[in-house]
Amino acid sequence: MADLIEDSYELAQRRYAELGVDTGQALQQLQAISISLHCWQADDVGGFERTGGKLEGGGLQVTGNYPGKPRNIAEIRQDLEKVFSLIPGKHRLNLHAIYGEFGDQEVDRNEITPEHFQGWVDWAKEQDLKLDLNPTPFSHPKAASNLTLSSKSPEIRDFWIEHVRRSREISNAIGSQLGSPCIHNIWIPDGIKDIPVDRAGYRQLLKEALDDIFSTKYPAAHVKDSLEGKLFGIGAESFTVGSHEFYLSYAVANQLMLTLDTGHYHPTESVADKISAILPFVPELLLHLSRGVRWDSDHVAILDEQLVQIAEEVVKCKALDRVHLATDYFDGSINRIAAYVIGVRAVQEAFLYALLEPWDLLREHEEQGRNFQRLAMLEEMKVMPFGAVWDYFCQQGNVPPGGAWIEEVEKYEKDVLFQRT
């Protein structure tokens, strides 16, 4: 099998070279791309701040109850180690604040400290991983109204401001210890089911809350702040306070990172088109990659047209150093480890596909008005031996090429997941 993969790669290498594409250079660039895997796929956005079932509410609804869900942090780490062993390259892990190590203590979200995440830092060092962190302003009694940082109750608003402050403090500790900036991404569920009267009032409160939160400055080498908007959600069908336009404006005004989640827009909107429109005005972008179906349903990412177009736009903009990649979906209806591997490998495949396209030749066609040639070449790229290059990349990274990983997940499912009761 190994010899066959190498032979196929050599043929593919020659085919791409005819178009002026260096497959070796493309693989080097792909190797340098780190994806931040979302920890909440592992246990259906459950977390460990309290005992009990999965968290729901605040615009979130995880479906499915596939056997083998991890019951504690040790089992989550065990599962994540398996996931990382099936994905080529070096990557990151994105934590939510509810995944701290709280033991038997009742630690409310305005009381979390860096000590609650030291175990994750130590584990990340052992695994040669970097960490990112999100605050968790949902699925909590003080988020029952679907209003947190924009709540008109000073008590509730102050509670969530303190939570995010502490989340940023933890991010600073993580970034300083791991030697890589911890991306701290803020998403809130704030919105109203029916048509509000005072849209401006809620948004002014959110602006003031963010101003308060960001008044504390941390070294850019330790923390990178990002803001994530949304079109609508459960309980926020008529009005979302932190809309795309709100956060775009705030990010530009304050020179912060903006997060684009591929499920947070109208299905006919192109997230890829937004990348080149926003990059000239913000320092960096964070992409949360999932698959919206009908609406923001956070399906497992697959190698579809939208994902490829996003990868192409990042590569065409020569922005691999300014665009950070993360996955963000939760599916409890299938094997959770398989959901990770399918989605993350799809992201890598999309970027490899984009890196293997002859952009210099395509730009030349476009600038000379050779439009049918440009379109024809883009179509021809779809049948180029991209899969042979991907298999070679996996083999070089000592992970199963092609679908060989499926058997490994099946064995892990039988030996580990199905043994959990």
Give the E-state strand segments of 282-394 in sequence order.
Answer: 285-289, 291-293, 295-299, 323-327
pLDDT, position 358: 97
What percentage of the chain has pLDDT greater than the value 90? 89
The predicted-structure confidence for 277-330, as pLDDT tens digits, reads as follows: 999 999 999 999 999 888 777 899 999 999 999 999 999 999 999 999 999 999
| Catalytic status, residue 44 | no
The one catalytic residue among 44, 79, 328, 349: 328
Task: Give the per-residue pLDDT at 297.
Answer: 77
Residue 53 pLDDT grade (very low, low, confident, very high; cuts 50, 70, 90): very low
> Per the structure block, which two tokens stand in for 387?
């899969």
Quick check: 52 pLDDT over 50? Answer: no
The catalytic residue among 43, 190, 225, 228 is 228
What are the residue boundaries of the structural domains of the chain, listed by start? Answer: 1-21+356-421, 31-72+89-344
**379 tagged catalytic:** no
The rounded distance, in Å, linking the Cα atoms of 365 and 300 is 36
230 flagged as catalytic: yes
DSSP string, 21-50: --HHHHHHHHHT--EEEEGGGTTTS--SSS
328 counts as catalytic: yes
Q: What is the CATH number of domain 31-72+89-344?
A: 3.20.20.150
In this prediction, residue 267 has a pLDDT band, given cuts at 50, 70 and 90, of confident
Residue 106 half-sphere exposure, CB side, CA atoms within 13 Å?
1
Cα separation, 356 vs 27, whole angstroms: 9
* Known catalytic residue at 408: no
* Whether pLDDT at 63 is above 90: no
Secondary structure E strands in 27-181: 35-38, 92-96, 130-134
| 264 catalytic residue (yes or no) | yes
- Reply yes or no on whether 321 is catalytic: no
Considering the entire predicted model, what is its pTM? Answer: 0.95
Distance separating alpha carbons of residues 346 and 308, to the nearest angstrom: 9
pLDDT digits (tens, 9 = 90+) for 382-396: 999 999 999 999 999
Is position 288 annotated as part of the catalytic site? yes
pLDDT per position as a tens digit, 164-201: 999 999 999 999 999 999 999 999 999 999 999 999 99
CB 329 within 8 A of CB 41: yes
How confident is the model over 76-94, as pLDDT tens digits? 999 999 999 999 999 999 9
Any catalytic annotation for residue 296? Answer: yes
Q: Is the Cβ–Cβ distance between 167 and 112 less than 8 Å?
A: yes
Q: Which of 224, 264, 299, 365 is catalytic?
A: 264
If you compute the radius of gyration of the chain from its CA atoms, what whole number of angstroms results? 22
Active-site hit among 43, 298, 391, 413: 298
For residue 51, the model assigns a pLDDT of: 41
